[in-house]
Homo-oligomer: A and B are copies of this chain.
């Protein structure tokens, strides 16, 4: 791996206590290019622009997908990733469906570890703090033919993060728009899935909702996802979540919540979640909680659901009563090395670059 360190690191001018999420990038980025059927030399270099023309296939034909993951710093300044192998295996499920080349494990993992180690000073510490990491691959060939690209760039960029969506939000159960087709790419973290969701979300925002609960495109009878997250429903003391399919993302946080719930002895039912059953549970007083989970926000608690002309206002639970918040705490305590890790989910990022310096 080529490591080209920044001559003008920006870290000393960055306030780790007070920043906005997503638009300040760590000093370096990782890139590796694919051409002529093979991956080239991996490289860490200063974060910044690379030259692409508007004929780049990635923006013309949308061969582009990504992962979202986080690094956490504990009290001793040790740095941990969370289940990075899940992200590695999933990005190749996405690339496969988008007819893009498989990313080799060593390129993904070594790039990730080396970049995070090098820029570990950028990782903020404390409640809800983390470094948000974005592996992304996109087609870079410049040709105006609607066909599979012959060139790609795999990159990893990262930005300091604090928790957002702190307040419970109001969500709209979609009765017209949808995010995924049967036999489509809904399960992949395909770039196009996100763009497709923005306009319906904007319309929901205008009606006073923060997010959309996506439902099936056939008759809007079943929950699929919420916003860019997997969705959980609690009726009495049982948790329900849709089973993964070609329409539903196999979320790392989703999987972790299921395992943590089972560890607590909570019954989890993975299968169809019918809108009708959720509304019926609301009407008979057994609907306790509905929430979304994902890497970026961990948990987004819903205070109300918009369904057709109704607004279903959910009960307000204490942190202890709430399964959503209890499981969130279980998860973040493991992520930030405040609790035992019986699942072996934490992945320590060793200090290698700095030792050599």
Contacts and interface: CB of A to CB of B under 8 A. Distances in A.
B134 A55 contact: yes
Interface stretch (A91-99, A111-119, A274-282, A283-291): A91-99
B53 A48 contact: yes
B98 A191 contact: no
Nearest to A62: B191
Interface in A308-342: none
Contacts of A61: 191, 194-195, 198
Given A22-B143, A193-B192, A99 B180 contact: no
Contacts of A52: 49-50, 52
B196 A98 contact: yes
Nearest to A66: B60
A62 B194 contact: yes
A238 interface: no
Contacts of A147: 198
A99 B62 contact: no
A244 to B, nearest CB: 17
Given A22-B144, A63-B195, A181-B179, A58 B58 contact: yes
Interface stretch (A36-44, A76-84, A101-109, A153-161): A153-161
Interface in A189-234: 190-200, 202, 217-218, 228
A58 B57 CA distance: 11
A122 to B, nearest CB: 14
A183 B174 contact: yes
Most buried by B among A29, A55, A138, A178: A55
A3 to B, nearest CB: 17
A106 B107 CA distance: 47
Given A98-B199, A193-B62, A194-B61, A50 B47 contact: no
B195 A98 contact: yes
A25 interface: yes
A327 to B, nearest CB: 23
A148 interface: yes
B148 A190 contact: no
A344 interface: no
A54 interface: yes
B138 A134 contact: no
Contacts of A58: 58-59, 191
A64 interface: yes
Given A98-B196, A199-B98, A217-B181, A51 B54 contact: no
Nearest to A161: B144
Contacts of A228: 146
Most buried by B among A31, A59, A98: A59
Interface of A: 21-23, 25, 29, 31, 47-55, 58-64, 66, 96-99, 132, 134, 136, 138-139, 142-148, 153, 155, 157, 159, 174, 176-185, 190-200, 202, 217-218, 228, 296
19 contacts: A51-B51, A53-B157, A54-B155, A55-B159, A59-B191, A61-B191, A61-B194, A97-B196, A98-B196, A146-B197, A147-B198, A148-B202, A177-B184, A178-B183, A180-B181, A183-B200, A191-B191, A191-B192, A218-B218
